[in-house]
Structure 1
Amino acid sequence: MHGPASPGWLLVALCAATGAYCLLRMRSTVEEQRRAAGGEAVMGFGMAAMAVPATAFTPPPWAWPGYLAVFGAATVHALWAARAGGHHLHHLVGACAMVYMAVAMGASPAPPGGHAGHGGSGFPPLTVVLLLYFTAYVLLSGARLVPATAGAGTAAWGDRPELARACRLAMGIAMVAMLLTL
């Protein structure tokens, strides 16, 4: 990603922490929760890797096909799971957005002192559509999170719905930030 290094590292930390919590959620006794958490962990760690500031590390050319393979597989998995509807449709959009960002960042040559992926001529229409989707998702997720904090209860860490919602909200915010810097 391009831009100032400090916000980039904060984004890396946020996405990595979200991915780590999703790994904890995979220990849940609820099968559906485990499946969703696995996909979210892949997204969290993948977003963390893609968010590393270009001033610290410029990915080698072979990294972009690697991102495409990982997020392409996540897209196929989300497409298969989306047959049941529900939150899997959001996973499908998120995985497709990561494929789109990997293609955009891998296809654009890096400007001198900059980072690949930034065209400088405004936002492409698909980026605008994804920004609108994830902005709406963040706003709705935030609204759903507020009432959930009142009834936290004594559920295990992997089974706390308000923490899962907070992780999804954090990844939505990170996706908006990444799309804005694309």
Structure 2
Amino acid sequence: MGTVPAADPLGGAEVSALDSYRARLTVARHATDSADCAELLDMLGLGGEPLCIDCGEKMTRAASDGRIIHGAQGRCWKCHRNYLDRKRQEAKDATAAAQAAVEAARRLRPAPPPLCERCYRRDAVEGSDLCAKCAKNVPAQEVRELVNRIQAATEMSVAAMSARIGMDPKALHQIIAPGCVRRHLGRDKFDRLAALAEEVGA
């Protein structure tokens, strides 16, 4: 495709300075590189150095040490550096905001319920120090102490005691023996044993 000479822009039509400036900015925005900018401007008959889309200065500018530095992405090197700095800061701000949101959500999350004070494996039931399973059982030590109190008050045998509460004597022996096999007694049976202790005044 032929180019329009800069001396005769757009087939003889006069181009104002403002239109020329706008055209150069448009080219700088949409061109892929500086060569593309130059080619498009030459086709428009405007020629010359493309302008930065941010500051309006030429894309190629001198650095403080005298080096000539070309711009990128439609910006001179100074504006491009500022653009990258802004993007990095925006990314940091977004990361900080996300971390703050996560921390706020963590603080708002309710604390986990305390563990059962007996088994330390399950969560304690609300309003209790025990989990639902441990609340249904009584430790062997408490059963042993209650049986000893009943025997001290009445000299009742374990077999007679078991018969009164409707329990297998062997099972009760397994709980109260020194090297007990069973570690707990069901709450319902313990309540019957406690009622027996109250009945005999133990």
Q: Which has the higher helix share?
A: 1
Judge same fold: TM > 0.5, yes or no.
Answer: no
TM-score under structure 2 length normalisation: 0.19
Between Structure 1 and Structure 2, whose CA radius of gyration is higher? 2
TM-score under structure 1 length normalisation: 0.20
More RCO (CA 8 Å, sep 6+): 1
